[in-house]
């Protein structure tokens, strides 16, 4: 099965390349009769868009056109098609790269997979591909909030060696880095100035939380809720590690430290991150993602051309010093699409238990 589809009961299938005519997607299985706010979709799109402070100046309008599945503002239950035309293709920027395989990018592995490559850009491997995930995810987020009270928010918790001392999601929209701790902003600003001067980039970490998730989502074996989220998160460009709850720290924990005790008012802690045995517990779901530093930086590097000859790559185009900054709405979108898919599946199999879990949450 080719890999451009996400989900089972709610399915998003996407298409489009960074330098092609358009990007788009089809959402199949979305419940009928849901009123959608397309302005909010556009706001999520804006958070992902390049052209903001500290990100690449590439200008994309990213105007989402809804081609089907919505009638007089309400979903009809039929596939919702979303279309975004590429307004600013500037493939001349990439003409110089025509024969060069950029290290850290998918150029070479693409060529090996398909035997052919659209050299004008990253194609499907470009972060631009995620534009449609954000649009589709925004519809899922609206469903989750309005029907179930599930809220999803992501924030940057570490950039390079600068870690947040606390995780305050209300700060995310207050600074250009989407960072969760206001005290770190001056040092991050200094770091970015240094990176731009050096033509370099840096990695970052993102934390995502989903509150109000009823118990019972996820399956006990292959499709554990955290396994599905790991799949969703790792499918985001530049992500190299994902975790739930205490994440990597569990390696050095003792059993009596990790397990969460149960009281009559619920769990006394949340080391598990809201998932036990692959099934949501009713607690907040907590995830973590590690993003690698942008590979296309101005510092030159050795590579090969398509003919296999040595060459030296010197990128001059527009790129981000830290790709993670624009990833916040993507992380939220993939989380929402995954949760909503599981909501529909749980409702299919266990409608009564699901209703009870919703009442309890």
Helices 131-143 and 328-349 cross at an angle (nearest 10°) of: 50
Q: How far is the CB of 67 from a copy of itself (least distance, A)?
A: 5
Of the pair 210, 242, the CB lying nearest a copy of itself is at: 242
Q: How far is the CB of 132 from a copy of itself (least distance, A)?
A: 10
Of the pair 33, 186, the CB lying nearest a copy of itself is at: 33
> Where is 218: in which H helix or E strand?
none
Of the pair 21, 96, the CB lying nearest a copy of itself is at: 21
Q: How far is the CB of 119 from a copy of itself (least distance, A)?
A: 9
What is the Cα–Cα distance from 167 to 164, expressed in whole angstroms? Answer: 7
Q: How far is the CB of 54 from a copy of itself (least distance, A)?
A: 15
Cβ(271)–Cβ(258) below 8 Å: yes
Q: How far is the CB of 143 from a copy of itself (least distance, A)?
A: 12
What is the Cα–Cα distance from 301 to 313, expressed in whole angstroms? Answer: 5
The closest alpha carbon to 330, from 120, 126, 181, belongs to 126
> Which class for 226: exposed (0-12), middle (13-18), buried (19 or more C-beta within 10 A)?
buried
Of the pair 51, 79, the CB lying nearest a copy of itself is at: 79
Of the pair 62, 226, the CB lying nearest a copy of itself is at: 226
Q: Look at residue 244 and give its three-state secondary structure.
A: strand
Residue 322 corresponds to which tokens in the numbers above?
């830290």
Residue 204 sits at the vertex; the CA angle it makes with 118 and 170, to the nearest 5 degrees, is: 115
């Amino acid at each position: 099965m080719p890999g451009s589809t996400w989900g089972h009961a709610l399915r998003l299938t996407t298409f489009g390349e960074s330098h092609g005519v358009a990007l788009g997607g089809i959402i199949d299985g979305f419940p009928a009769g849901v009123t959608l706010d397309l302005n909010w979709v556009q706001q999520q799109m804006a958070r992902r868009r390049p052209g903001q402070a500290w990100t690449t100046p590439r200008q994309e309008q990213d105007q989402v056109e809804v081609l089907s599945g919505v009638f007089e503002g309400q979903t009809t239950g039929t596939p919702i098609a979303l279309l975004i035309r590429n307004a600013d293709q500037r493939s001349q920027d990439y003409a110089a790269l025509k024969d060069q395989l950029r290290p850290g990018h998918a150029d070479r592995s693409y060529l090996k997979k398909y035997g052919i490559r659209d050299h004008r850009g990253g194609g499907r491997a470009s972060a631009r591909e995620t534009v449609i995930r954000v649009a589709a995810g925004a519809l899922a987020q609206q469903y989750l909030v309005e029907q179930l009270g599930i809220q999803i928010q992501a924030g940057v918790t570490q950039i390079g060696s600068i870690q947040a001392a606390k995780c305050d999601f209300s700060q995310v929209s207050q600074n250009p880095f989407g960072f969760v701790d206001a005290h770190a902003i001056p040092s991050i600003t200094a770091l970015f100035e240094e990176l731009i001067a050096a033509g370099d980039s840096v990695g970052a970490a993102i934390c995502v939380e989903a509150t109000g998730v009823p118990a019972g989502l996820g399956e006990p074996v292959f499709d554990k809720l955290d396994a599905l989220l790991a799949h969703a998160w790792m499918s985001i460009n530049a992500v190299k590690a994902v975790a739930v709850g205490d994440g990597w720290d569990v390696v050095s924990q003792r059993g009596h430290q990790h397990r969460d005790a149960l009281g009559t008012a619920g769990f006394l802690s949340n080391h598990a991150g809201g998932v036990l045995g692959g099934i949501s517990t009713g607690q907040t779901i907590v995830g973590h993602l590690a993003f690698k530093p942008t590979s296309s930086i101005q510092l030159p590097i050795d590579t090969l051309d398509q003919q296999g000859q040595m060459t030296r790559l010197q990128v001059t185009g527009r790129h981000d010093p830290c790709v993670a900054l624009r990833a916040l709405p993507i992380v939220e979108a993939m989380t929402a699409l995954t949760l909503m898919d599981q909501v529909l599946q749980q409702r299919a199999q266990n409608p009564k238990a699901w209703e009870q879990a919703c009442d309890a949450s």
